[in-house]
């Protein structure tokens, strides 16, 4: 029996990964133009844009899977608990927190185990912070902590994590585990969930493009709707800087179609700043 329809699985991934990616790119260019242009860079501006989009998609892929795993946990009978806690004026965010049969589980979820030595130590320190938050907030419950990597092909630091979790387990007297891929769902006695996830993921990967589209004018109406309500300062920075406009903006808006839609939209706005932005776009398009 299917627990999540493929259409819903696909919708979550596409929403997290592709929606607002254009708006995010413009904000990053406006805030840090030197990251995209300049003589001492081994990439062309277009190459840097592609690199940025790839990196953004990787991060968003992880965020999408936090939602996907939470949905599956609900479907197999777990109650989802609060994932945001305050600890000594610091806000702690849990990737997953769920409850059933008197047990409260918290899960540190990552896509793959490929961290370098400094990052892996930071991960363990962060995990212990979350463990302490759980102890404070669920003193009467049995707590189970899980370090979970979705990708079973990369186990670079497994020995390190196992040793650190074993030490933590001995000191706190709390069950702590590390799982890769299907191991989590085997532990929860629902192996069928992992089988469905991998099947859906295979289907989704056949549908996505090999390369991100850097010509935002290919779908001007869609691009316009995504970026039209960015703050005026974003548009000021990308329109007023000659280097940014010539090396970045003219690449992602090669036809000027989206910019024309923006100009018309800004002309309809009453605020003075939008009239100025409309004039600036008109100057650039000439």
Domains of the chain with bracketed CATH: 6-64+210-285 (no CATH), 77-189 (3.40.1350)
Q: Residue 38: left if φ>0, alpha if ψ -120 to 50, beta else—which one?
A: left
Q: Which residues pair with 99 in a beta bridge?
A: 79, 104
Quote the pLDDT of residue 116: 85
Tokens representing 245?
Answer: 């406009």
**Per-residue pLDDT reduced to its tens digit, 68-123:** 999 999 999 999 999 999 887 889 999 999 999 999 999 999 999 988 888 899 99
Instruction: Express each pLDDT in 109-138 by its tens digit.
Output: 999 998 888 889 999 999 999 999 999 999
The residue written with tokens 């069928």 in the block is 192
Mean pLDDT of the chain: 93
pLDDT digits (tens, 9 = 90+) for 207-255: 988 888 899 999 999 999 999 999 999 999 999 999 999 999 999 999 9
Predicted confidence at residue 52, as pLDDT, reads 85
According to DSSP, the residues that pair with 84 across neighbouring strands are: 93
Neighbours of 146 (CB within 10 A): 22
Q: Residue 219, Cα to own-chain centre: how many angstroms?
A: 23
For residue 110, which phi and psi values (nearest 5 degrees)?
A: -130, 160
The pLDDT value recorded for residue 130 is 95
Q: What is the percent of the chain where pLDDT is above 90?
A: 79
């Amino acid at each position: 029996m299917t627990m999540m329809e493929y259409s819903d699985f696909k919708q979550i991934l596409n929403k997290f990964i592709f929606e607002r990616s254009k708006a995010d790119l413009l904000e990053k260019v406006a805030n840090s133009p030197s990251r995209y242009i300049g003589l001492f860079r081994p990439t062309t501006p277009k190459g840097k844009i592609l690199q940025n989009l790839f990196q953004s998609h990787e991060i968003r892929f992880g965020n999408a899977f936090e939602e996907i795993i939470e949905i599956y946990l609900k479907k197999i009978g777990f109650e989802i608990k609060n994932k945001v806690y305050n600890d000594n004026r610091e806000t702690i965010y849990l990737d997953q927190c769920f409850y059933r049969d008197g047990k409260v589980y918290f899960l540190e979820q990552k896509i793959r185990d490929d961290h370098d030595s400094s990052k892996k130590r930071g991960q363990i320190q962060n995990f212990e912070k979350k463990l302490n938050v759980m102890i404070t907030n669920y003193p009467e419950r049995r707590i189970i902590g899980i370090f979970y990597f979705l990708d079973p092909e990369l186990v670079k630091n497994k020995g390190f994590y196992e040793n650190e979790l074993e030490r933590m387990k001995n000191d706190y007297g709390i069950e702590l585990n590390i799982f890769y891929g299907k191991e989590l769902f085997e532990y929860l006695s629902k192996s069928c969930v992992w089988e469905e996830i991998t099947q859906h993921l295979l289907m989704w990967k056949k549908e996505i493009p090999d390369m991100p589209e850097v010509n935002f004018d290919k779908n001007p109406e869609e691009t316009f709707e995504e970026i039209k309500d960015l703050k005026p300062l974003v548009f000021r920075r990308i329109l007023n800087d000659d280097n940014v406009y010539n090396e970045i903006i003219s690449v992602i808006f090669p036809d000027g179609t989206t910019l024309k839609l923006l100009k018309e939209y800004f002309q309809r706005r009453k605020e003075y700043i939008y009239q100025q932005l409309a004039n600036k776009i008109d100057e650039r398009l000439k």
